């Protein structure tokens, strides 16, 4: 992977997320029509099975499970696979993504939908659950760049994003912003750390001179 392209793509996604947040909070303080339309649409089709699916995703993507459980499991798997550099990369990505989400939440302070079905923290934009899902998906893809990891990653992010709107805990644009932040952080960090992550043991131990 070309480091310059990774950096440009990552920085571009983060910039786009910031611009999107500014648009929906400062330029259009009244919630955009698309967000209202989508919120009403999913509320109309929300059946028992969709609600249960969304509640499961809420549990997986939030709280101690998302903050500690999933990251630690991913790191443990990489360590057991003797990919300790990949484990370090994953840990840095998880921490940086969470920090970026909280920074933007404090910056924009967007109000959540009034009909949300679960209790959530301050700030609707961006969606932390979706950002975390995108971070996981991009970390896996960067470490294991395969078509199937890309497809599964996209499906995972979409499922998480949809589940947040099924619970009316986020506007649709919040989930888009979360996906942009999670992906952007990983790509920027990959541009910086990927050569080190991919460095072979023989190269590290090779004598100088």
pLDDT at position 103 is: 97
pLDDT at position 110 is: 95
**Closest listed residue to residue 182, CA positions, set 91, 87, 101, 63:** 101
pLDDT beyond 90 at 24 = yes
Question: Worst-scoring range by mean pLDDT, 30-34, 43-47, 93-97, 205-209?
Answer: 205-209
DSSP assignment letter at 198: T
Rounded to whole angstroms, the Cα distance separating 12 from 39 reads 28
Model confidence at 206, pLDDT cuts 50, 70, 90, reads: very low
Q: Can you spell out the DSSP letters for 74-135?
A: HHHHHHHTT-HHHHHHHHHHHHHHHHHHHHHHHHH-PPPPTT-SS---S--SS-HHHHHHHH
Half-sphere exposure of 24 (CA within 13 A, CB side): 31
pLDDT beyond 60 at 54 = yes
Rounded to whole angstroms, the Cα distance separating 79 from 104 reads 32
R_g (Cα) of the chain, nearest Å: 18
CB of 35 closer than 8 Å to CB of 171: yes
Q: Is the dihedral of CA 9, 76, 101, 174 positive or negative?
A: positive
Rounded to whole angstroms, the Cα distance separating 123 from 171 reads 11
Model confidence at 78, pLDDT cuts 50, 70, 90, reads: confident
Q: Which residue has the higher pLDDT, 65 or 44?
A: 44
Provide mean pLDDT across the span 73-94.
89
**Closest listed residue to residue 103, CA positions, set 24, 27, 21:** 21
Q: Which domains does the chain have, with CATH numbers?
A: 3-199 (1.20.144)
Provide mean pLDDT across the span 83-90.
92
pTM, 2 dp: 0.91
Provide mean pLDDT across the span 164-172.
94
- Strand boundaries in the chain, DSSP class E: none
């Amino acid at each position: 992977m070309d480091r310059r392209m990774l950096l440009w793509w990552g920085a571009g996604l983060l910039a786009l997320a910031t611009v999107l947040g500014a648009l929906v909070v400062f330029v259009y303080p009244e919630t955009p029509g698309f967000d209202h339309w989508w919120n009403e649409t999913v509320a109309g089709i929300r059946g028992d099975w969709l609600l249960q699916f969304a509640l499961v995703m809420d549990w997986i993507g939030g709280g101690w499970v998302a903050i500690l459980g999933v990251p630690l499991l991913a790191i443990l798997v990489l360590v057991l696979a003797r990919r300790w550099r990949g484990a370090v990369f994953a840990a840095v990505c998880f921490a940086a993504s969470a920090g970026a989400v909280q920074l933007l939440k404090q910056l924009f302070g967007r109000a959540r939908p009034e009909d949300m079905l679960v209790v959530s923290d301050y700030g609707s934009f961006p969606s932390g659950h979706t950002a975390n899902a995108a971070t996981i998906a991009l970390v896996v893809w960067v470490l294991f760049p395969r078509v199937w990891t890309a497809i599964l990653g996209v499906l995972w992010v979409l499922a998480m994003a949809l589940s947040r709107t099924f619970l009316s805990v986020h506007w649709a644009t919040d989930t888009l912003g979360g996906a942009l932040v999670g992906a952007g952080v990983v790509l920027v960090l990959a541009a910086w750390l990927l050569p080190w992550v991919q460095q072979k043991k023989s190269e590290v131990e090779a004598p100088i001179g």
